[in-house]
Homo-oligomer: A and B are copies of this chain.
Amino acid sequence: MKAKRSNPTMKDVAREAGVALGTVSKVMNNIPVGAEYRVRVEEAAKKLGYQVNSYAKGLKTNHTGIVALIIPSVRHPFFGLLTDYICQVLMTRGMRTLLATTESDMEMENKCIRLAQQHKVEGIIALTYNPNIEMDEDVPFVSIDRFYTNRVPCVAADNYGGGQLAAEKLVELGARKLLFLRIGSSVIGEPDKREAGFESWCQLNKVPCHVIHLNDEDGFNPFYDFLRDHVRDGRPEYTGIFCSTDQLAVIIVKKLKEMGLSVPEDVQVIGFDGLMNFDETPYCSSIVQPVEKMAETAVDILLSEDRSKLPALTCLPVTYRPGGTTRDNEA
């Protein structure tokens, strides 16, 4: 553990090296300079433990090398994973991550955006369903999972295709009637397309399909009721369930087992997200979001040179992965 002296400035380095201030600056920025000088400056810098003051630098250049990430939390596995990747990708692009967790509180979201702008970040990546985002026209902004306008690029998984894929898989695995389950207050983001894709596939393929929106008041009763009302020969009729998230799927599987139904024998369940338990095993069969790809894409778009022609919406392909809650051969 080494300790270094404090706060030497370029002026100090210049004096130490016996060169002009501008020369030091050039060395620090890799601008061609006499080899002899370069060495002198580098030695002086090392000796004094000099580090550029990026605030002074940022003030001049308006480039801070910081990108703000605004996200509901970092403790939910999906957000944690996404944050992790974004942070890593930004690092490889020479950028730092300013993290702001908002708990999806709109006021907080706007506050964080304001703060980010004050800090002159190079751009903002945000995951919010806030309809009244107050964004500065000229700080690059990329939204994840939420389409605002053509002027704000949005990156998301192919939620619609994922919904279709879930339906297709469930039928392929033997389910004749399908159920879609979703929980929580209605939002207006890309994830809503999971339901749309699911339903459209069923319609197109003439597969009976029912949709249940769970809410906080009724709890799981609508689900219980539906299952009880649709029984045939003592077995549930709807044997394929698609849940809007893995989280919900895990809960539903538990509920089903409590009801004496076995998963995947009696009923098959597919979730959405593709999260892994921390022993690297899937929570459930799931439509896997390409989280790493989403992170890369978001960063690429945010930092792209030519901001005049950006894709308004980028949907990245999802995949299906068995995870024990479906009757796959190889599961």
Contacts and interface: CB of A to CB of B under 8 A. Distances in A.
Given A51-B114, A118-B52, A83 B74 contact: yes
A148 B2 CA distance: 12
A116 B314 CA distance: 33
Main secondary structure of the interface of A (DSSP, over half): mixed
Interface string A71-89: 0011111001101100110
B75 A84 contact: yes
A100 B100 contact: no
Interface stretch (A166-174, A192-200, A213-221, A246-254): A246-254
A74 B79 CA distance: 9
Copies of this chain assembled into the complex: 2
Interface string A1-23: 11111110000000000000000
Q: How large is the interface on A (under 10, 10 to 19, 20 to 34, 35 or more residues)?
A: 35 or more
A51 B117 contact: yes
18 contacts: A1-B132, A1-B133, A3-B135, A3-B136, A5-B137, A53-B120, A54-B119, A55-B59, A59-B59, A74-B80, A75-B80, A75-B81, A77-B80, A96-B115, A96-B119, A251-B279, A275-B278, A277-B277
Interface of A: 1-7, 51-56, 58-59, 64, 66, 69, 73-77, 80-81, 83-84, 87-88, 91, 96-101, 114-115, 117-120, 131-138, 148-149, 246-247, 250-251, 254, 275, 277-279, 283
Given A54-B120, A277-B277, 14 more contacts: A1-B135, A1-B149, A4-B137, A55-B58, A55-B59, A74-B83, A75-B80, A77-B80, A84-B101, A97-B98, A97-B100, A98-B99, A250-B278, A254-B279
